[in-house]
Amino acid sequence: MSSKAKQKPKQGKKGKVQVKERGIWVQLLLIFMAVHGIFASYFYYTVRTQEPYLDRPMILTLMVIHSLANVVSAVGIWYWKKWALYVYAGSTILALVVGLLTVGVWSVFYFMLPLAIVGWVLRDKWSYFT
Protein backbone atom coordinates (compact mmCIF):
# COMPACT_ATOMS: atom_id res chain seq x y z
CA MET A 1 0.00 0.00 0.00
CA SER A 2 1.38 3.37 -0.98
CA SER A 3 1.84 6.10 1.62
CA LYS A 4 0.46 8.67 -0.79
CA ALA A 5 -3.03 8.67 -2.22
CA LYS A 6 -3.08 9.79 -5.83
CA GLN A 7 -5.81 11.45 -7.81
CA LYS A 8 -6.24 11.81 -11.52
CA PRO A 9 -3.73 14.21 -13.06
CA LYS A 10 -5.22 17.57 -13.96
CA GLN A 11 -4.15 20.19 -16.41
CA GLY A 12 -2.29 22.88 -14.50
CA LYS A 13 -1.07 26.32 -15.51
CA LYS A 14 0.62 26.60 -18.88
CA GLY A 15 -0.57 23.15 -19.98
CA LYS A 16 1.52 21.17 -17.47
CA VAL A 17 -0.03 18.08 -15.92
CA GLN A 18 -0.32 18.40 -12.15
CA VAL A 19 -0.45 15.22 -10.07
CA LYS A 20 -2.13 15.88 -6.75
CA GLU A 21 -0.69 13.69 -4.02
CA ARG A 22 -2.10 13.55 -0.54
CA GLY A 23 0.64 12.54 1.89
CA ILE A 24 0.05 10.34 4.91
CA TRP A 25 -0.02 13.36 7.25
CA VAL A 26 -2.73 15.08 5.21
CA GLN A 27 -4.77 11.87 5.14
CA LEU A 28 -4.47 11.38 8.89
CA LEU A 29 -5.28 15.03 9.57
CA LEU A 30 -8.44 14.96 7.44
CA ILE A 31 -9.65 11.72 9.00
CA PHE A 32 -9.00 13.20 12.45
CA MET A 33 -10.88 16.41 11.51
CA ALA A 34 -13.94 14.44 10.40
CA VAL A 35 -13.98 12.10 13.40
CA HIS A 36 -13.36 15.00 15.80
CA GLY A 37 -16.28 16.93 14.30
CA ILE A 38 -18.64 13.99 14.74
CA PHE A 39 -17.59 13.32 18.34
CA ALA A 40 -17.56 17.02 19.23
CA SER A 41 -21.19 17.38 18.12
CA TYR A 42 -22.17 14.47 20.33
CA PHE A 43 -20.05 15.83 23.19
CA TYR A 44 -21.62 19.29 23.09
CA TYR A 45 -25.08 17.76 23.06
CA THR A 46 -24.47 15.41 26.02
CA VAL A 47 -22.46 17.81 28.19
CA ARG A 48 -24.88 20.73 27.92
CA THR A 49 -26.69 19.79 31.14
CA GLN A 50 -23.46 19.38 33.15
CA GLU A 51 -21.83 22.67 32.21
CA PRO A 52 -23.90 25.80 32.86
CA TYR A 53 -22.27 27.84 30.08
CA LEU A 54 -23.24 25.20 27.47
CA ASP A 55 -26.86 24.98 28.58
CA ARG A 56 -27.81 28.01 26.48
CA PRO A 57 -29.43 27.01 23.17
CA MET A 58 -27.47 29.59 21.16
CA ILE A 59 -24.08 28.31 22.39
CA LEU A 60 -25.02 24.69 21.79
CA THR A 61 -26.32 25.48 18.29
CA LEU A 62 -23.18 27.42 17.32
CA MET A 63 -20.85 24.70 18.58
CA VAL A 64 -22.78 21.96 16.75
CA ILE A 65 -22.62 24.09 13.57
CA HIS A 66 -18.86 24.44 14.14
CA SER A 67 -18.44 20.67 14.51
CA LEU A 68 -20.51 19.85 11.43
CA ALA A 69 -18.66 22.51 9.41
CA ASN A 70 -15.42 20.75 10.34
CA VAL A 71 -16.75 17.48 8.91
CA VAL A 72 -17.87 19.21 5.70
CA SER A 73 -14.56 21.04 5.35
CA ALA A 74 -12.57 17.82 5.90
CA VAL A 75 -14.44 16.21 3.01
CA GLY A 76 -13.94 19.33 0.86
CA ILE A 77 -10.22 19.46 1.61
CA TRP A 78 -9.99 15.75 0.72
CA TYR A 79 -11.22 16.72 -2.77
CA TRP A 80 -8.90 19.76 -2.90
CA LYS A 81 -11.68 22.38 -2.81
CA LYS A 82 -10.59 25.85 -1.82
CA TRP A 83 -13.99 26.73 -0.32
CA ALA A 84 -13.39 24.01 2.28
CA LEU A 85 -10.38 25.89 3.64
CA TYR A 86 -12.51 29.00 4.00
CA VAL A 87 -15.28 27.02 5.72
CA TYR A 88 -12.74 25.55 8.14
CA ALA A 89 -11.24 28.96 8.92
CA GLY A 90 -14.71 30.46 9.40
CA SER A 91 -15.85 27.67 11.71
CA THR A 92 -12.67 28.05 13.75
CA ILE A 93 -13.30 31.77 14.15
CA LEU A 94 -16.91 31.02 15.15
CA ALA A 95 -15.71 28.55 17.77
CA LEU A 96 -13.12 31.03 19.01
CA VAL A 97 -15.78 33.71 19.55
CA VAL A 98 -18.06 31.25 21.36
CA GLY A 99 -15.11 30.04 23.41
CA LEU A 100 -14.18 33.57 24.42
CA LEU A 101 -17.77 34.22 25.50
CA THR A 102 -18.03 31.03 27.55
CA VAL A 103 -14.65 29.68 28.63
CA GLY A 104 -12.39 32.72 28.41
CA VAL A 105 -8.94 33.47 27.06
CA TRP A 106 -7.75 29.83 27.21
CA SER A 107 -10.03 29.02 24.32
CA VAL A 108 -7.77 31.01 21.98
CA PHE A 109 -5.06 28.34 22.20
CA TYR A 110 -7.53 25.44 21.98
CA PHE A 111 -9.32 26.70 18.89
CA MET A 112 -6.43 28.33 17.01
CA LEU A 113 -4.02 25.39 17.31
CA PRO A 114 -5.95 23.15 14.86
CA LEU A 115 -6.11 26.00 12.33
CA ALA A 116 -2.35 26.45 12.59
CA ILE A 117 -1.77 22.70 12.16
CA VAL A 118 -3.97 22.53 9.05
CA GLY A 119 -2.19 25.58 7.63
CA TRP A 120 1.22 24.05 8.29
CA VAL A 121 0.36 20.64 6.81
CA LEU A 122 -1.20 22.15 3.67
CA ARG A 123 1.28 25.00 3.18
CA ASP A 124 2.95 23.45 0.13
CA LYS A 125 -0.27 22.18 -1.43
CA TRP A 126 -2.14 25.46 -2.01
CA SER A 127 -1.78 25.09 -5.79
CA TYR A 128 -3.74 21.80 -5.63
CA PHE A 129 -6.92 23.53 -4.51
CA THR A 130 -9.49 24.55 -7.09
Residues 36-48 pLDDT 10s: 878 877 777 777 6
* pTM attached to this predicted model: 0.72
Report the distance separating Cα 29 and Cα 32, nearest Å: 5
Which residue range is the domain that position 83 belongs to? Answer: 18-125
For residue 6, is pLDDT > 60?
no
Q: What angle do CA 41, 24, 39 make, to 5 degrees?
A: 10
pLDDT at site 87:
93
**Do residues 84 and 75 touch, judged by C-beta distance below 8 A?**
yes
Report the distance separating Cα 83 and Cα 49, nearest Å: 35
Total number of domains in the chain: 1
State pLDDT tens for residues 92-106.
Answer: 888 888 878 777 777
Question: Whose CA is closest to 95, among 73, 125, 123, 122?
Answer: 73
pLDDT, average across residues 62-74: 88
